[in-house]
Amino acid sequence: MPSSRCAVCKHFRRKCQSDCIFSPYFPPTDPQRFACVHEIYGTANISKILQQVPVDRRAHTVESLYFEAQCRKNDPVYGSVGVLSSLQQEIFKVQTELAKTQAGVAFYRSSMEEQQKHQQQHHFCAVAAPVDLSFEQLPYLPSS
């Protein structure tokens, strides 16, 4: 017979009341979620936090608590701040790489434009340059 107790009530081996503040956010199918949050915050603090938050924001609050707890378990010193810092460093590296790439593209684009201008000017000069030939310099074509 499947248990209808939430992960919190299951953890404490108590009956889960119909108005249990934890049951919507800690289902019996995911006991590790509660264990992680419980290890960092404790059940009393989780309960206090949930009671202070409007009902429509509680699910998001529990998601945040879970994320924070996971980060704190993975990095006890910096927690989620360490994750944030790491992501900011990654963003900075990518922005720097993007700026370098854009500068390279701009350089090659201007280089190509200069090359095209030079070729057009050279072609124009070759076509439009006046030819100073006298009658004697023209090739001789025998009459037929």
Computed over every residue of the chain, the mean pLDDT equals 88
Q: What is the mean pLDDT of residues 41-54?
A: 97
Residues 6+ apart with CB under 8 A from 80: 67, 68, 71, 72
Residues 103 and 47 both lie in one domain = no
Alpha helices, DSSP H only, in the chain? 7-11, 31-41, 43-52, 58-74, 79-128
Is residue 135 in some structural domain? no
CA–CA gap between residue 112 and residue 103 (Å, rounded): 14
Residues 58 and 97 both lie in one domain = no
61: exposed, middle or buried (C-beta count within 10 Å: 0-12, 13-18, 19+)? middle
Q: How many CB atoms lie within 10 A of CB 49?
A: 16
Contact 53, 19 (CB under 8 A): no
The residue type of 10 is K
Q: Check residue 135 and give its pLDDT.
A: 57
Question: Which domain range does residue 108 map to?
Answer: 78-125
Is residue 56 in some structural domain? yes
Residues 53 and 88 both lie in one domain = no
pTM, 2 dp: 0.66
pLDDT in tens, 56-109: 999 999 999 999 999 999 999 999 999 999 999 999 999 999 999 999 999 999
Domains in the chain, number: 2
Is residue 141 in some structural domain? no
Is residue 140 in some structural domain? no
Confidence of residue 115 (pLDDT cuts 50, 70, 90): confident
Six token digits for residue 142: 């025998």
Is residue 137 in some structural domain? no
Contact 10, 3 (CB under 8 A): yes
Residues 84 and 47 both lie in one domain = no
Q: Which of 7, 32, 35 is nearest to 21 (CA)?
A: 7
